[in-house]
A = this chain, B = another copy of it.
Amino acid sequence: MDKKLSRLKLLLAEVADLQAAHNLLNWDLETYMPPAGAQARGHQLATLDSLCHQKFTSDEVGQLITDLKQELADADADSDEARLLKVIAKDYDRATKMPVEYVARLAQLTVRAHESWARARAESNFALFRPDLEEIIEMRKEYISFFPPKEHPYDTLLDEYEPGMKTTEVQRIFAALRSKQIALLQAITHAEQIDDSFLHLNYPQQQQWDFGIQVASKFGYDWRRGRQDKSVHPFSDSFSINDVRITTRIMEDYLPSALFSTMHEAGHGLYELGINQAYERTPLKGGASMGIHESQSRLWENLVGRSKPFWEYFYPRLQETFPTQLGNVDITSFYRGINKVEPSFIRVEADEATYNLHIMLRLELEIAMIEGSIEIKDLPELWNTKVEEYLGITPPDDAQGVLQDIHWSFAGLGYFSTYTLGNLISAQLWEKIGDAIPDLEEQIRQGEFAVLLDWLRSNIHIHGRKYEPQELLQRATGSGITSAPYLRYLESKYSEIYKL
């Protein structure tokens, strides 16, 4: 067994190296690559992608999995080895069930769809994207057909991003959330509105950058094992457990953009930095799911970064950094300003009280597309109706409506709900952490995050992909995913801010 396991690990370590090279090619593309390098970079990414796939789906890997499954049948089901094999077997099953021809066809379609989507959005003309989207939906259905039937066809798509999650489960969770979030939003929009004009003054780049670095350092970001760069869209990526990088985007006329994106990406980065070093170059290196990953970014960005104790420590420092802009703004006004709620058309700009509503409408439309219960041509209309229902506003055009997100153009149906699941999980963890660390607020007020990070490391980060998300959460909090903590968090926070 030892020999076969070593051989399998060796083969997968090579795949991990190729994956790391692929990620670096992509990181460079987003950060430093000169513009004319794009065409060659496309070839390089495609070659690495296809090599990763070939190497991972080889017959030898398949045979080793089969053999080891038998040999490990009596082993401790919770051992790293047994769990590693389980994760590999599932990945292998997914990767080999897709015919090579299908993968190539999808790649071609999504390249074309990305172009038609970008053009459609630029011209705010859904008709330009519609034929490709229709094909994408058909190909996603074809994808579902490669796997054994599940309770609901959409389950197969969810499972790609949130292993083990079921359509009925996410519908149940979202149903418990929807009416309460809408009610909260309505209460807020009827309350006295917040003035956040001071956030829109001129904030020079370098000081914003330095302040973000200072905050991430306080969180415990280890710059010997990571770095921050600039990119058009902030993201985080990892080329090793000891090389985890984040990016940010600085807007000189809007202070919150860089600051909260640095905290958000640092949350993702801290997760990857905390994974068990023994999982380096194995498929256990990585986050348990998109939802768990998002719970970490949201926890640091929102539960920590938009909290009062956090600013009791950092606000005097921020005022020192920007004396002319913030010298006359007291901490309460600042705290209310960065927590201002306002229904808007664009998901990525949404605040904590409206974000989930954006997600819900996407989930409902995706499920309906996969079920075939709606026609693609009706999508813009259906989109706008839901925006009116949930947010009380009407998109002026499709660019700010159904065409705003890139996800469908890369066939990423199944992805959106993980954003909301991440929000919910962050609040579940937060309640649990509050029990475990009674003086957490006081620690944050002192700019101390080590005990918090420690808790996240030993309960979440260290495990990498060893446990599926629901099991991981059960182990950490004693509960599956539930919306109650997040609702409690929102209601308590906004009741105070908006005096509801």
Interface residues of A (CB under 8 A from B): 13-14, 17-18, 20-22, 24-25, 28, 32-37, 39-41, 43-44, 46-48, 51, 222-227, 229, 239-243, 245, 280-281
Q: Kindly provide the distance from the CB of A46 to the nearest chain B CB, expressed in whole angstroms.
A: 8
24 pairs of residues in contact across A and B, judged by CB atoms under 8 Å = A13-B43, A14-B51, A18-B51, A21-B24, A21-B25, A21-B44, A21-B48, A24-B25, A32-B32, A34-B223, A34-B224, A34-B226, A34-B227, A34-B243, A36-B222, A36-B242, A37-B239, A37-B242, A39-B242, A40-B241, A40-B242, A40-B243, A41-B243, A51-B51
Residues of B near A44 (CB, < 8 A) are 17, 20-21, 239
Q: Would you call A17 and B243 a contact (CB within 8 A)?
A: no
Q: Would you call A48 and B17 a contact (CB within 8 A)?
A: yes
Q: Kindly provide the distance from the CB of A335 to the nearest chain B CB, expressed in whole angstroms.
A: 34
- Can you name the residue of chain B whose Cβ is closest to the Cβ of A243? B37
Docked Cα-Cα span, A22 to B17, in Å, equals 11
- Which among B40, B47, B229 is the interface contact of A239 at CB below 8 angstroms? B40
Docked Cα-Cα span, A28 to B32, in Å, equals 10
Q: Would you call B280 and A40 a contact (CB within 8 A)?
A: yes
- Can you name the residue of chain B whose Cβ is closest to the Cβ of A35? B224
Q: Kindly provide the distance from the CB of A30 to the nearest chain B CB, expressed in whole angstroms.
A: 13
Docked Cα-Cα span, A20 to B20, in Å, equals 14
Q: Is the interface of A mostly helix, strand, loop or mixed?
A: helix
- Which among B13, B225, B229 is the interface contact of A37 at CB below 8 angstroms? B225
Residues of B near A51 (CB, < 8 A) are 14, 18, 51
- Can you name the residue of chain B whose Cβ is closest to the Cβ of A273? B36
Q: Kindly provide the distance from the CB of A100 to the nearest chain B CB, expressed in whole angstroms.
A: 16
Residues of B near A240 (CB, < 8 A) are 37, 39-41
Residues of B near A223 (CB, < 8 A) are 34
Q: Would you call A36 and B243 a contact (CB within 8 A)?
A: yes
Docked Cα-Cα span, A39 to B239, in Å, equals 11
Q: Kindly provide the distance from the CB of A43 to the nearest chain B CB, expressed in whole angstroms.
A: 6
Residues of B near A227 (CB, < 8 A) are 32, 34
Docked Cα-Cα span, A227 to B14, in Å, equals 31
Q: Would you call A18 and B36 a contact (CB within 8 A)?
A: no
Docked Cα-Cα span, A51 to B241, in Å, equals 23
- Sorted from nearest, which 10 A-B pairs have the closest CB atoms? A37-B243, A40-B240, A17-B47, A36-B242, A36-B225, A17-B44, A21-B21, A36-B224, A14-B47, A20-B44
Docked Cα-Cα span, A47 to B19, in Å, equals 11
Q: Kindly provide the distance from the CB of A205 to the nearest chain B CB, expressed in whole angstroms.
A: 15
Q: Kindly provide the distance from the CB of A320 to the nearest chain B CB, expressed in whole angstroms.
A: 25
Residues of B near A241 (CB, < 8 A) are 40
Docked Cα-Cα span, A229 to B229, in Å, equals 14
Residues of B near A242 (CB, < 8 A) are 34, 36-37, 39-40
Given contacts A224-B35, A225-B36, A240-B37, are A43 and B28 in contact (CB under 8 A)? no
- Can you name the residue of chain B whose Cβ is closest to the Cβ of A226? B34
Q: Would you call B28 and A40 a contact (CB within 8 A)?
A: no
Q: Kindly provide the distance from the CB of A84 to the nearest chain B CB, expressed in whole angstroms.
A: 18
Docked Cα-Cα span, A17 to B48, in Å, equals 8
Q: Kindly provide the distance from the CB of A58 to the nearest chain B CB, expressed in whole angstroms.
A: 13
Docked Cα-Cα span, A34 to B240, in Å, equals 11
- Which among B17, B33, B40 is the interface contact of A43 at CB below 8 angstroms? B17
Residues of B near A280 (CB, < 8 A) are 40
Residues of B near A47 (CB, < 8 A) are 13-14, 17-18
